[in-house]
Structure 1
Amino acid sequence: MTVESEAPAHGVNLTDEAAAKVSALLAQEGRDDLRLRIAVQPGGCSGLRYQLFFDERELDGDSVVTFGDVAVVTDRMSAPYLQGAEIDFVDTIEKQGFTIDNPNATGSCACGDSFN
């Protein structure tokens, strides 16, 4: 069963900048069946690593939140680690890419690639 909502009461939040970038990337893919999946997997120097990728699958227990025309999917195992996390997209001279501000992370590695 997939749970869908329009507002992330306690789930992942996508900033307007991130939603616009995801929407542009989805348009480049030329498919209308893809959604942004955010998952937490074991790995990295701090124990857990984020994964962001486009996915057409629907897994049992998925939580789906929409931001305009962008659907963000989180699996039930990753959801507790991502409650209240905010995903942004930055494009500056120093850095370009998606960032995740996660209030559940108690620590992260120096490279910022993993957390615990």
Structure 2
Amino acid sequence: MLTITDKAVSVLSSLCAEQAASLRISVNAGSCSGIQYDMSLEDEPADNDEVLTFGALKVLVDPPSTMWLTGVKVDYVDEGEGAGFKFENPAQAKKCACTGKCG
């Protein structure tokens, strides 16, 4: 379903351990650039969540997001002017072409 690189797991595990929380990854309807991924910390899973385990990291996924996360790889990138999490979805064909006017 979802792949998280070792580098991303390491960073996320540290963040979640500090807060004694699990990571929630969800998918929201996006703008013209397609779907948007959201990450947040939560204390407990909801009754219908799928709970994925990556080492010490627990990832919560709600049922509507499950199908959109199939084949997605989450990586942590620390290069250039910033660092952050990068979602790679090989099934996402549409990219924003509206010259920065996405809302």
Question: Is the pair's TM-score, using the shorter chain for normalization, greater than 0.5?
Answer: yes
TM-score scaled by length of structure 1: 0.74
Measured in 2, the distance between the counterparts of 1:28 and 1:56 equals 12
* 1:90/1:97 contact within 8 Å kept: yes
Superposition pairs for residues 5-16 of structure 1, below 5 Å?
Answer: 11-16=1-6
TM-score scaled by length of structure 2: 0.82
* 1:22/1:70 contact within 8 Å kept: yes
Count of aligned pairs: 99
Greater per-residue helix proportion? 2
* 1:82/1:104 contact within 8 Å kept: no
- Residue by residue, what CA displacement relative to the aligned partner does 1:52-94 show, whole Å, maximum 9, x if unpaired? 1111232233111111100111111011011011100011124
Give the deviation of 1:42 after TM superposition. Answer: 1.7
1:106 maps onto 2:97 in alignment: no
- Among 67, 75, 86, the alignment partner of 1:88 is 75
Superposition pairs for residues 28-67 of structure 1, below 5 Å?
Answer: 28-29=18-19, 31=20, 34-67=21-54
Partner of 1:17: 7
Tell me: CA distance 1:109–1:55, structure 2 relative to 1, closer, same or farther (3 Å).
farther
Give the deviation of 1:18 after TM superposition. Answer: 0.3
Unaligned residue ranges in structure 2 (runs of 5+): none
* 1:13/1:86 contact within 8 Å kept: yes
- Among 17, 22, 25, the alignment partner of 1:27 is 17
Give the deviation of 1:43 after TM superposition. Answer: 2.8
RMSD of aligned residue pairs (Cα, Å) = 2.1
Identity %: 36
